[in-house]
A = this chain, B = another copy of it.
């Protein structure tokens, strides 16, 4: 590849002893080698000094210069301060959300080999492969730590990973060949089997659905340990319906898969995995809960027409052999059609899109995502508060009512007259009934509010990943517009611009298809969830009514 220029977006104070090159925002560097790996490039500044630079700190500059909005500054944990090197500390497993996964997985397979058996991150060191970058992290903020959360029933139940809103999907897209794709600078041949079809429907562009839908069960969590019990971990058994063969996966494998999917499918938001919890990580309750959440995540992936048939996902669901796993893993990491290049796979309808219409749709959808995010927050708060009230005040309230009847029965019991006994017993029973109703209220959230809360949490996660997906699209559209301006100025030919617009259309098609998929999923999911919730509420109030009816019956003998 010819030498390229890159504009520095931020100041970077490199560690010269580790071969790093310092630079200031606005400086232009010559990129000598983009193949260093681990998120580093080799570059040369105007003074002729060589060194390693963090890929995310710069932007390739070419004619026409990209008009993309600059990517947001890198987050905690992405700031490299040590030179890339192979680390094998045994803790590295899950990349933090904001570290492009590609940084992390182009290390040698040996590395992973060990990881495969390792504990999936111990408490505070579970920052994944970003660990590999630490070292002399004097100038950079400390490594990001996933928040440790104590999981207990009735507590906040925040278990799905929080996605930092600055997840750098856009810059990733640009750097992973998105721009090249847009500008028609790619000529990679797409194998037929990899092509992803988008069709037109009454509801707009849609992913073509294959007939062979399948499911996958996540079950049988098993505690396992190595190093004579010093390190313990949990495996979950996954059984896809198409093979009916169990595969054993640990959280870190899910985490690796998540990273790959996120990196590959530039226009598909990948919901975050459940958070890692440190305290009580191996407690039965926590394991069961995580299993349920992983099941939810897997369900969403399995139901996605594109993801469910991708090689990387299939590999994850089917590979039972260590050696083959490594091969598949490496293949996935070296996938040609990831990020920006993913769009090369799309086969869209030939019809050009009406730009205004697409923009209007995007605007509405952006609002939709924003409002729905707010809705999820409100629903979360309201339902958490309601569940808390059921556990505490409601239970106490009905216990108080029940106790007051039981005390009355105790007094009435001082009167041993025959005509009085049945009433006394009935009132005592009424007391028990109200106390039991209080207990029922306290047991209820597990049946309705908690599943609803978990569901809302899941959707909150899905929604959080959307703005970045939309930004990719926005960037592409902006680029196309830029080109149209350049054409007006005579700096680009009509055909060139036409090509760019056609490529932008492909990105629009992909984004619209995904939006459409999201909306269909949303309707299905909320219908299911609301039905389930209401059904549980109905069952609850019927049982409550039944309790009262039983109490009432006792008075007929009084």
Residues of A that sit less than 8 Å from B by CB: 202-203, 364, 367-368, 371-372, 374-375, 378-379, 382-383, 385-386, 389, 397, 400-401, 404-405, 407-408, 410-412, 414-415, 417-420, 423, 426-427, 430, 519-520, 522-523, 526-527, 530-531, 534-535, 537-538, 541-542, 544-545, 548-549, 551-552, 555, 558
Contacts and interface: CB of A to CB of B under 8 A. Distances in A.
B414 A368 contact: yes
Nearest to A515: B415
Contacts of A367: 414
A434 to B, nearest CB: 10
The secondary structure that dominates the A interface is helix
Number of this chain's copies in the complex: 2
A433 to B, nearest CB: 9
A535 B556 CA distance: 12
A541 B545 contact: yes
A249 to B, nearest CB: 34
A523 B414 contact: no
A494 to B, nearest CB: 36
Residue in A386, A401, A411, A551 with the greatest tally of chain B CB atoms within 10 Å: A411
A540 to B, nearest CB: 9
Given A371-B411, A378-B404, A407-B375, A551 B534 contact: yes
A519 to B, nearest CB: 6
B523 A535 contact: no
B538 A541 contact: no
A379 B404 contact: yes
B378 A407 contact: yes
B386 A526 contact: no
B534 A552 contact: yes
Contacts of A537: 548
Contact of A415 (B368, B382, B400): B368
B386 A397 contact: yes
B415 A519 contact: yes
Contacts of A383: 401
A519 B419 CA distance: 9
